[in-house]
Chain A
């Protein structure tokens, strides 16, 4: 398996634009997590899904952020409208069987909002 795949690797966008980040979890994994990493706030869990259903979205910073998982092999994190303070590295991770077990991270998407 190629591991968790995220796209794009880098995204530069202007303030106010919509941004969509994409993730393909490891095949067979039933948990998917979205994290955000910044120097100021460290690594934060935004939302996680189990069998494509959002379980806990309490980490989503505000209504401008939304996440979907239409099927077991694809998830998106959307920011609309984007703001400079959204600049960060966004990681997707997946795990199998239970949420509190090893999470396999993707390479991340480095988002820069100018």
Chain B
């Protein structure tokens, strides 16, 4: 089955700095890669996603890059703000619907 590894498990940055979270996947059949943000005690919410026919996608301060050959994808957050503090999950999903999530990265943005 699919295996998704996410690094780092914790990340602490100063407000205004950039944050990068990386994920690798194992199954080349995976073709959809969402990133979810989960604040403490809340539900996961999609912040950005990318499909395997695209190499990069950007939405304001958030960007995702995908390297299909190497089977890895990354989340980039620029100009971090304290409200970006949360747990971030990557996932790899196949057309058949099977989704596998990474273990999560706890991001702390220090004011």
- Which residues in A have some Cβ–Cβ distance to B below 8 Å? 31, 33, 42-45, 48, 50, 55-56, 58, 91, 98-103, 105-108
- Is the beta-carbon distance between B95 and A100 smaller than 8 angstroms? yes
Contact, CB under 8 Å: A105 / B97: no
B10 at the interface (CB under 8 A from A): no
The contact size tier of chain B is 20 to 34
Taking CB atoms, residues of chain A closer than 8 Å to B49 are 101-102
Q: Are A105 and B45 in contact, with the CB atoms below 8 A? A: yes
Taking a contact as CB atoms under 8 Å apart, the answer to whether A99 and B43 are in contact is: no
Q: Are A105 and B98 in contact (CB under 8 A)?
A: no
CB <8 Å contact, A102 and B104: no
* Interface mask (B71-111 → A, CB under 8 Å = 1, otherwise 0): 00000000000000000010001111111111110000000
